[in-house]
Structure 1
Amino acid sequence: MSEVWVTLTTAQEAPPLWVVLLSALTALAVVTWSASWHVSRGLVTIAHEGGHALTALLTRRTLQGIRLHSDTSGVTLTRGRPTGPGMILTAAAGYVAPSLLGLGGAWLTSSGYVAILIALVIVLLLCMLVLIRNLFGVVSLLATGGAITAFTWYAPPDIDAVLAYLAVWFLLLGGVRPIVELQRKRRHGRAPDSDADQLARLTFLPGGFWVLLFLLVAAVCLVYGAYLLVPLPPGFP
């Protein structure tokens, strides 16, 4: 246990700046290219539904389960008061969860605590696995968690750091695109029961307000996360 603790708490040196920037460009390409986004979007969905689930537990709602679907959509089932702060916070947590998770990951990664970040991700995936209520969701989480575990087990620490930077950039950038897609669907009337529209019914604030709030949170996380991840040159104000 002492060796594990030392591994977790020992800060790693950041990779060269060109590696950080290359990981950002790679993540941007994955998010913007439709084919790669269709494959990788499920990772954002896992973070999205995890945000709903964690907030439901924190607001003392009864969490009934999580479902992840092959079309990269998902649903988190909770039981409790159909209105009130708990329900509002739970509904609002999904679209901002990937960006907030990315911001937390940016802080850990930029501080050199890559091992802690990887351990936290694996623990969160295991906790979600207990709550999954469909086969595809189980397979998705096992595949994701297994790939992360295998990669970090066999790869040297320097490669782990590159993976961490790539994953954090992906969450920061990937947290923005679903919000834009949500508004596009709402504009064409194809998302009447979206989180934003549920919040509109719960709060009497228009759905567009909630979409704008989601986008603002994602943008702030992206800008501040980039500030943490990309070291500024000496003497830069």
Structure 2
Amino acid sequence: MASTAATALPDLWDRLTGTQPDPELWVVVATALAALAVVVPHTLWRVARNAITIAHEGGHGLVALLTGRTLTGIQLHSDTSGLTVSRGKPYGLGMILTAAAGYTAPPLLGLGGAALLAAGRITLLLWAATALLLAMLVMIRNAYGVLTVVLTGGTFLLVSWLAGSQVQAAFAYAVVWFLLLGGVRPAFELQAKRSRGGAGDSDADQLARLTHVPAGLWLFLFHAVSLCSLMGGGRWLLGG
């Protein structure tokens, strides 16, 4: 038994840190088109946006912890909205970075994922995503949020352990394309709401109150991060 465990651990480490072959170009393009087909139609986006909300609220939570704030809890709602609550000074750099992390988290996660895939680290990407989802689950404070994170994390876990290498590669590329493409749409949705006089308590408006910088400039930052991430990440995924 001890010998088996001693052998299994190095094998597990090698699998985690090793590289996997890139999928064929048609797989990369097909997963990009599949992600686009989910992001563009309103009906499919309405459901898939839950995954972007997980990344959005996870970004708030992670940066809150990194800046020394106390993360109280995260809620995910069926209308794809979310709420992350942290304790600390209601002003200052930590609060500003925490507020700015939401809309920028999905595209930046996609960019990081694209970098891993470009380096052939498909297994590492899948396991890292699973670990982040498990860590986030501890902080979820409502039933719908628990269900959403469990289903998402369970999907990653099943693909990581049971699927073949080709399926893992296609799944990983589809996820990263979805983060890159899906990370662009929320900023445009926020812009549309603000043009109609809504979303008065959005992240951009909170940042405006914290920094005295107009909300429109923060919205421009969200657009810039998401579009630049899409261009850079897309180039990596396509082998540029």
- Normalised to the residue count of structure 1, the TM-score between the two structures is 0.96
Matched, 1:184 2:192: yes
Partner Cα separation in structure 2 for residue 90 and residue 208 of structure 1? 18
Matched, 1:173 2:193: no
2:74 and 2:82 in contact (8 A); partners too: yes
Residue in 2 aligned with 1:198? 206
1:53 to 53, 61, 68: 61
Please list the CA deviations of residues 185-214 of structure 1 after superposition, one character each: whole Å capped at 9, or x if unmatched: 111111000000000001111111000001
2:127 and 2:160 in contact (8 A); partners too: no
- AA matched with 1:167: V
Identity of aligned residues (%): 55
Partner Cα separation in structure 1 for residue 160 and residue 232 of structure 2? 27
4-13 or 68-77: which moved more? 4-13
Tell me the C-alpha RMSD between the 2 structures. 0.8
- AA matched with 2:159: F
Q: CA deviation at 1:29?
A: 1.0
2:165 to 153, 157, 163: 157
Residue in 1 aligned with 2:215? 207
Helix, strand or coil at the partner of 2:239: coil
Q: Within 5 Å, give how 1:1-237 maps onto structure 2.
A: 1-232=9-240
Q: CA deviation at 1:21?
A: 0.7
Helix, strand or coil at the partner of 1:75: strand
Partner Cα separation in structure 2 for residue 166 and residue 126 of structure 1? 21
Please list the CA deviations of residues 206-231 of structure 1 after superposition, one character each: whole Å capped at 9, or x if unmatched: 11100000110111111100111102
Partner Cα separation in structure 2 for residue 111 and residue 216 of structure 1? 25
Q: CA deviation at 1:47?
A: 0.2
How many residue pairs match? The answer is: 232
Q: CA deviation at 1:153?
A: 2.0
Q: CA deviation at 1:158?
A: 1.3
Q: CA deviation at 1:155?
A: 1.1
- AA matched with 1:153: W
Partner Cα separation in structure 2 for residue 210 and residue 48 of structure 1? 16
- AA matched with 1:34: H
Partner Cα separation in structure 1 for residue 162 and residue 207 of structure 2? 45
Partner Cα separation in structure 1 for residue 22 and residue 152 of structure 2? 25
Helix, strand or coil at the partner of 1:131: coil
Unaligned 5+ segments in structure 2 are 1-8
Q: CA deviation at 1:154?
A: 1.8
Unaligned 5+ segments in structure 1 are 233-237
Q: Which runs of 4+ in 1 moved over 4 A?
A: none
